[in-house]
Amino acid sequence: MTTATVITKKERDWHRVGTTLLWALTMLVIGLAAALFGNSYQVTLLVNLAVTLILTLSLNFVVGYSGQFSLAHAAFFGVGAYTSAVLSKTLGVPPILALPIALIVVATLSTIVGIPAARFHGYYLAVATLAFSILIEIIVRQSPSVTGGAYGLQQIPYLDLFGRIEGHAYGIVAVVVFVVFFLAHNNLLRSRLGRAITAVRDNPAASAAAGINVMHTRLFGFVISATAAALAGWLHAFYHRALNPMLFSAEWTFIWLFMVLVGGIGHWQGVVLGTVLLAILPEFLGFATDQTILMVGVLMIAAALFAPRGLGGFLDRIAAKMRS
Amino acid sequence: MRFAKLVGLAALSAATLASPVAAQSDKPVLIGVHLDRAKQASYYSTLQQQAMDILVKQVNAAGGVDGRQVKIIYEDDENNPVVTATKVDKLAAEGVSYIISIGSSATGLAAQARANELKIPHGTPANIAENLTASPPKKYYFRTALRDSFASAAAAQFLKKKYGNPKLAFVRDATETGLILSDQWIKDLKAAGFEVVAVEQITPGSSDVTAQALRVRDAKADVVIVLGGSIPDLANYTKMHRTVGNKAPLLGNYLFTSASFIKLTGPAASGFIFTDAVDPSRPEVVEIEKQTVAGIGEGARNQPVMIMAWEYLRLVLDAIKRAKSTDREAVRTAMEQTKDFPIGLGPAGTKVNYSESSHDLFTGPDQVVFREIQNGQYGAAIQWR
Amino acid sequence: MTASIIQVLLSGAQAGIIYGLLALSYYVILSASNILNFAQGEWMMIAAVSGAVLIASGLPYPLTILLSVVIATTLAVTAERLIVRPLEQRGASLTVVILALFGVMIVVRYSTALFFGRQEEPLEGPFGNEVLAVGDSIFLPVQSLVVYAIGAATFVGVNLFLRHTWLGRGLRVAAIDSYGAQVIGIDLNRVRLVAFGLGGLISAIVGWLYGPLYAAGYLIGATPGIKGFIALFIGGMASPWGALVGGLFLGITEVTASRFLPSIYAEGLAFFILILVFLFRPTGLLRRRTS
């Protein structure tokens, strides 16, 4: 869990700002092009990709940068999506307002979970968060009056911003939301808080000695990651406009974790590339789609054996070679 | 990090520009199908897919539809509604004229939501969930599967006729299918005036269901209705039910026709009655089963889902023929205008009659077939009306 | 009332011992090599499924049991050799190892579907599938007696192995201090191999305890697999007996809830209990003996 190192030099810092802006601009341009000119299938892929990227980057944040092996990600994603849907469908809240409410709900929930969780490390944290995730799925599936139960929720209202947002328009919204998230994510990484988070991961004792509140920092990392998952849930809910308890399935968390692994744990550039690759590539590998899940298992093993540092590690090596 | 940016740019460009959309070919008639290849619904999905493949081979050998070969494009929905919606998008982009759902009801619902928006005619041979054709009516959706509320209504008639006013107990497993089905039946049977004295649930994977069996026995139900999607759990219950000395008869739905149910339950399954859409004594059914057995062997015996899938595809292809085109609107209209189309589902003489207000084959509980397991076999339809 | 309590204890102990044995299989590997192997449930499934296949092929029953257990254990050891060992040698992080084993779980489970089919088959127990009845309120499947006996024997056997054999003690020392173990000449590679083998063996045995009570099919490893490590963390890692304590506690509580409450609450109970344990007694129910 400690594959990335903290960089604190000022000149490297400016370089990073430049890199971030370059990535953001590139993704914005390509994303908008896809949203405007793609057919409905490509737009769906784009929106799914935006949602998945937010999820993998935030999972990478809590596992890689904050060093906490949390398996509750799918639960926060699902709660964010369901809260948004129930608010707008059952309570008539405008979808745009459902966003801040859903974020607050999940932030609160993750704080409640995160406070005891911050005491745990390694397996205990993983198993505790996994149990929490499964329990949430069971509760959602068995509460038909609130959540539609096993049927799920259909016909969720459209997002409305001076007009109904669907199709290409939604693609644009998804790209913009993602880029804003991406900028906030990178900004957080470079900030003092971001460095405190990685410092606590690397050496809690030294951080405490330096005056950082270890518990609070870990909790913050946990909560911010969960809140991002809720954002992804909101984005997902108003595009697909149909939800199902399977959204909470713990399997999702493992699949996102796999994408993070392929990208390189704690290495956001790799994670972005890895997610894009894994999300888009299966569409072109016709032969593999017959046994999708089996392929995923094989890829997990292969990635672990042959590329444990992931794409991030690969990029690092190339960058190092180019410098020398 | 500039190199990383270039790689990223290349990847994203490739993704957007290299479209997976196949160039629309004039020749084949394209039908899209989404199914569960590997997960919990894969057993039923695979059977339906095999039946459809055999039919397509025959149709193509006889010249296809109006001289055009039929091609089915299959997409794995991983038994996941989110993935299903994406696959429906993909099938739409590949230019299919019709989409058939042969996965679970949950994925069928997701497919419907998306296909309706994309204005593609679609439907299912086997998904029984009520919401699929309940209000508001879905313009592009056509179903031949037995609507679940009719199965429960027929069960109500059957229970009244055979037992008078029996007290009912429900046993279900915690799968999505189990919860959806049992909630529907409990609601409908309560509305029909029956008293429900117990609702017991089995966590899938349980090695012991004595607790549930004893609770049902102590509640003194006259008839016990068993519903769910996890056959081993329901088989365990059926065995325990008899073991604890409960003489109450058992009633279920067509999902119990999975071959493993009889294998796992053994003699305890005798007398188990279930609702179905297929009467195996009908000559049409016998004929189709001959073809499926010739195609995949003995595993095709007594598989109502194969009959359902076969007949549904036959109906769809007929509609395309009548439409004289593969244009989606034309196919939709032709489907809606289906009149007096003989079909091997339901009791003898059943015909498909769609209209603007009705996109269901089954229009009432009278068409529901009841069958009984006897001597380790799935029996023919029982006459009780 | 007493009859109900006895029934609950009998049923609860059956489920509990199955959970406990799976928890033990996790424990053996976790304590010796610090790896939580998500694929443990799948060895159980392999033993049951290959058992069903071998029975159908006409092999004598005792040989079937032996061969299927050997097959499952061999697979477990193969996974360690082919995947875990290279990863450990490259110094891969724990996250990577765990994800690789999750991949193993997927591959084993879904390729079984391809070879065995998606239908479940019945698995005949060593002494048949009869149910003994005492009065009309106590029902004891003969297989339950097998579960009790084999379960007890396995726990005692594993404990003896860990305490009194050279290999077993190596496992225990590695659990306490892996660096110190290396210093005194214990080969961690071999320890890990033995741990995976033992864990696989225990799991395979469970296949013959659980399979006859449920069925043999490609999905049967899923739920018991999860309940297994839930039971482990409920009981605690203080000693192998923690697995038994956790398993029994979980099994009996689940059956009690199903018997006396509307059974819709039973499904989430295991996870709810685990969360309570983590909140109030994180090291598990069994107290660590200071020896």
The pLDDT tens digits along chain B (385 residues) read 444 454 444 455 444 444 344 333 457 999 999 999 888 888 889 999 999 999 999 999 999 998 899 999 999 988 888 889 989 999 999 999 999 999 988 899 889 989 998 999 999 999 888 888 876 778 999 999 988 889 999 999 999 999 999 999 999 998 888 888 899 999 999 999 999 999 999 999 999 999 999 999 999 999 999 999 899 999 999 999 999 999 999 999 888 877 789 899 989 999 999 998 899 889 999 999 999 999 999 888 888 999 999 999 999 999 999 999 999 999 999 999 999 999 999 988 999 999 988 899 998 898 899 999 988 888 878 888 8
Q: Give the residue range(s) of CATH 3.40.50.2300 domains in chain B.
A: 29-146+282-354, 149-276+370-381
Number of domains making up chain C: 1
**Rounded to an integer, what is the distance from CA A82 to the centroid of its chain?**
17
Q: Residue A287: its pLDDT value, please?
A: 47
Residue of B nearest to A279 (CA): B15
Residue of C nearest to B36 (CA): C118
Interface contact C223, partner B, CB < 8 A? yes
C285 found inside a domain: no
pLDDT tens by residue, A19-28: 889 899 999 9
C29 found inside a domain: yes
C33 found inside a domain: yes
Residue C104 distance to chain A (closest CA, Å) = 7
Mutate to test the interface with A, among C94, C96, C108, C219 (most CBs of A within 10 A): C96
From chain C, the residues in CB contact with B199 under 8 A are: 262, 264
CA–CA distance, C252 with A126 (Å, rounded to integer): 25
Domain covering B149-276+370-381 assigned CATH 3.40.50.2300 in the classification: yes
Angle at B269 between CA B263 and CA B272, to 5 degrees: 135
Q: Residue B137: its pLDDT value, please?
A: 75
Q: Do B211 and C255 touch (CB under 8 A)?
A: yes
Both ends of chain C: CA-CA distance in Å? 42
* DSSP letter (8 states) at residue C121: B
Segments forming the whole domain that contains residue C275:
2-280
**Rounded to an integer, what is the distance from CA A226 to the centroid of its chain?**
8
Strand partners, B65: B68
B-facing residues of C in 174-203 (CB < 8 A) are none
According to CATH, the topology of domain B29-146+282-354 is Rossmann fold (3.40.50)
Residue C289's pLDDT band (cuts 50, 70, 90): low
From chain A, the residues in CB contact with B81 under 8 A are: 152, 242, 244, 246
pLDDT tens by residue, C213-257: 999 999 999 999 999 989 999 998 888 899 999 999 999 999 999
CB C154 within 8 Å of CB C205: yes
Run of H or E including A219: helix A214-240
Interface of C with A (CB under 8 A): 30, 36, 83, 86-87, 90, 92-100, 102-107, 110-111, 114, 226, 229-230, 233, 264, 267-268, 271-272, 274-275, 278-279, 282
Residue of C95, C110, C229 lying closest to A291 (CB–CB):
C110
Q: Do A273 and B4 touch (CB under 8 A)?
A: yes
Please give the ipTM for the structure prediction. 0.92
Residue type at position A287? F
From chain C, the residues in CB contact with B258 under 8 A are: 119
Residue of A nearest to B5 (CA): A23
Cα–Cα separations (whole angstroms), residue A188 to A65, A220, A226, B349: 11, 12, 15, 70
CA–CA distance, B98 with B124 (Å, rounded to integer): 11
C286 found inside a domain: no
Other C-beta atoms within 10 Å of B243: how many?
16
Give the total residue count for chain B.
385
Q: Which residues contact B278 (CB under 8 A, 6 or more apart)?
A: B254, B285, B304, B307, B308, B344, B345, B369
C289 found inside a domain: no
pLDDT tens by residue, C67-117: 999 999 999 999 999 999 999 888 888 788 888 999 999 999 999 988 988
Q: What are the φ and ψ backbone dihedral angles of A49, each rounded to 5 degrees?
A: -65, -45
Half-sphere exposure of B339 (CA within 13 A, CB side): 4
Run of H or E including B191: helix B176-191
Q: Is the peptide bond before A94 cis (omega within 30 degrees of 0)?
A: no
- Give the residue carrying structure tokens 């909630």: B183
Residue of B200, B208, B215 lying closest to C14 (CB–CB):
B208
From chain A, the residues in CB contact with C86 under 8 A are: 305
List the subunits that have 3+ CB pairs under 8 angstroms with B. Answer: A, C
Interface contact C133, partner B, CB < 8 A? yes
CB B214 within 8 Å of CB C7: yes
Which CATH number fits the domain that encloses residue C60?
1.10.3470
Q: Do C266 and B207 touch (CB under 8 A)?
A: no
CB B75 within 8 Å of CB B34: yes
Question: What SS3 class is residue B29?
Answer: strand
Interface contact C110, partner B, CB < 8 A? yes
Q: What are the φ and ψ backbone dihedral angles of C29, each rounded to 5 degrees?
A: -75, -45
